[in-house]
Structures are given as C-alpha cells and as structure tokens.
Amino acid sequence: MKILSLAIASLLNRKFSVLLTIIAIALSVALLIGVERIRNGAQQGFNNTISGTDLIIGARTGQIQLLMYSVFRLGNATNNISWQSYQEIIDDPVVQWSVPISLGDSHRGYAVLGTSTDYFTYFRYGRKQPLSLSDGKLSEDLFEAVVGSEVADKLGYSVGSEIIIAHGTGSTSFAEHKDKPFRVAGILARTGTPVDRTVHVSLEAIEAIHLGWQSGSLTSQSAVSAEEARKLQLHPEKITAFLVGVKSKLGIFKLQRKVNEYRAEPLLAILPGVALQEMWRLLGVAEKALFAISLCVVVTGLIGMLSVILASLNERRREMAILRSCGARPTHVFALLIGEAFVVTLAGIAAGLCVLYAALWFVRPTIEDRFGLFLSMAPPTLNELLLLLSILVAALIIAVLPAMMAYRNSLADGLTLRV
C-alpha cells in the first residue's frame, strides 16, 4: 500500500503527461469494449429474430438469401411459390403449423408482409416469445393493417390512421395503391426484430390491391374498387415463402429432404439456426477485423504509456537515487515503476468504462431506432472483464522494461547527476 501511495504521489507531480496517458488508455478501452458490445448485440439480435420455427421454405436459392428476405426483409425472392405447392407440402403429416408470407410491396420504405392470422399465433422471437399488441386489435376488415412499433413511432401512426401501400420495395415508389387505402387496426409491441419495421396485412388484401394491375401499373378499364374487392372470393395464387413447425424434431430432416426434392417446382427448405450461423460466419470476418483494429488502438495506448515512463526515467534518476539513499531497496524502485503503471492503467480502464457508458446512454436510442440493435447498459460481462484484466496484465508486463532500467541505476549514478 505504501508503494501505491508513493506511486500516486509521484504521478501527481507529472499531472499533464499522466493525464494524457490516461485519456489515451481510456479511449482505447472504450473502443475495445464498445466493439465487443456491438458484436454481442448484433449476434444476439440476429439470433433473437426468429425462434420456434423449424423450417423456412421458399424458391430455390441460397439459404442466406432465403433467410434475408423472408426474415430480415432484405433483398428480393428469385421466384414465388404456387399456392398449390404450398398446400401439398403442409398436408404432410409431420407439419404441425405453417405461416405463409407474401412480400413485394412497401409503405414509405417499410416492408409490407401479407400473411394469415396464424402468423400472430405461431411466430416467435427471442426466447420463443409470442407477438403481442400494444394498442388496437388484429385486422378484421380486408383493408386493415397491423403495423410494427417502429413504423408507428417513426410515421406517427395510431389506431385508425390511414396508410397507402406502394408497389415494389423501394423507399420511393411512383406506383401506389391509392384506390385501396388501409386503416391501422393494431400496433404491435416492440420486439427489437424486423417485425417492428413491417406492415402486416392479410394475403387476401395483397390479392385485392393487385386486382386490375398489369405489368406493374393499373389501367382504368381493369380497376376494381375497394367495395367491389370486398365482395369477391379472394384466394392467393402465389406466396413468397412460408414458415413451418413440425410435430416431431425427427421429422424436420424428412420434410426438408422432401421439399428439396420436390419436382413440381424448385424449392428450398432451410433450418433457421443453421442459416443464421452461416450468415454470422460471413459477417465474422468484418467483426474480427474491427476487433483487431480495437486491439491495435489499445496496444498503441499502452505503448504511449511506456514512452511516457521511459522519457521520464532520465529526469527521475535523482529522485530514484534519493529514494535509495533514504533506505529504499532496488526492489522498491522496481515496485514503484510497476505501481505507477498499475495506477495509470487502472485509472484509464475506469475512465474508459465511464466514457463507454456515457456514449451508450446517448447513442443507444438512435442505434435501436435505426438499426434495431440493442446495446446493453449492464455491467461488464465475464468476457469483457477478462479483456480488461488482459489490458492490465499487458500494461504491467510492458512496465517491466522501465522498471528494470530504474532497478539497475546505481545510487552513485543518481547522486553524481548535475542539475
């Protein structure tokens, strides 16, 4: 404890250079732990997007592409699935439930998802959490919609608001279904998944808004009004993909093989968990690169600390000599330098955590709204603590060099220095 008290007193005599060193270490620690939080938040967000679904079935393509457009609403399907094929597959005895989805339309940049009421019954996210409404009710009329929490918040919608669906998935569309406006019937509770950024309507509504459309445009001769559409018996002809739950886990691979060998049209069945792992492996390259850059920043901060200690050694040789003349042993001088490195690094780590939590407090709402990425404000995890401990140990190892140099300086060498 006396050594630490002496180290702190010594550091206070060199406030400016020590403060700069602490700031450098603090920023590098904040960056390193921040990257770790973002990595964990992204991975948890991906893994929590869908759960309880055994298979996702769509047109034959890559499994990541199928996962991206069916779950994350990113990209487009290479082809659709006929309703007849969908019915034949779900008639398999191993199928317990299915949720058809139809994509291809949007509303002010947000995806419009056509589905059945089974979507709200069987879709799960996180740890098999069901969807719930924060306001309103599920759609009952043909032209009613249930919107995600982000759609409602960003666009200022409430129950009863009118929305116009646009043809296509772009943020700007010149082909809107203005003749068939929808009314917001309900708003879903926040999930932290793409569900928050989705407008949900019925499959029949998707068919209704496209009545009379030819080659991506509506002609006056073929137009069908909303009231006329309500009187029709509408049935979907095609869907984009569908989610499946099976009665027994043993039947998953049997059904997957059946779908992948389906001859009526080329289809692909994927396991969501496997596809998520493959996608994360691809993203892991960038993740590791960013983590490596953060480590380099930490190493730079520690090297800066070493430079400051080394630069001050020559000026402090008389100080060390006086300590030796007062009875300090060479091991005390060695411990003093190690103690200074320990105090500076520990102060840098503490300051870095303060900077990190302050930054998270400010930017977390923006990141959640724009990217749907949840960044935890919880205390450091075990992995983060191990990283911080590694930084502290590395700093002590680095400090051995100047400590050994001070250890070897003789008392006579220090006392003969001119001032």
Question: Per-residue pLDDT for 66 more than 90?
Answer: yes
pLDDT at 215: 53
pTM: 0.73
Of residues 219 and 105, the one with the higher pLDDT is 105
d(CA 401, CA 397): 8
Q: Tell me: pLDDT of 219 over 60.
A: no
Confidence (pLDDT) at 144: 94
Considering the chain, what is the average pLDDT of its residues?
83
> How many helices (H) and strands (E) are present in the chain, helices listed first?
15, 17
Half-sphere exposure of 53 (CA within 13 A, CB side): 34
pLDDT value for 316: 67
Q: Is 277 or 60 the better-scoring residue by pLDDT?
A: 60
| Alpha carbon distance 213, 200 (integer Å) | 21
265-295 tens-digit pLDDT: 999 999 998 888 888 787 777 777 878 888 8
Give per-residue pLDDT as tens, 177-213: 788 899 999 999 988 889 999 999 999 999 888 886 6
- Residue 282 to residues 66, 201, 273, 288, 366: CA-CA distances in angstroms? 15, 33, 15, 11, 26
Question: Rounded mean pLDDT of 126-137?
Answer: 90
> What is the CA angle 75-206-71, rounded to 5?
35
Residue 250: how many other CB atoms lie within 10 Å: 9
Q: Please determine, for residue 97, whether its predicted confidence score (pLDDT) is greater than 50.
A: yes
> What is the sign, positive or negative, of the torsion defined by CA atoms of 364, 366, 369, 372?
negative
* Tens-place pLDDT, residues 337-355: 888 888 889 999 999 999 9
> By percentage, how much of the chain surpasses pLDDT 90?
38
Q: Which residues pair with 199 in a beta bridge?
A: 112, 147
Phi, psi of 170 (to 5 degrees): -75, 160
Q: How does pLDDT run across 352-368, given as a tens digit for each residue?
A: 999 999 998 888 877 76
* 417 band by pLDDT with thresholds 50, 70 and 90: very low
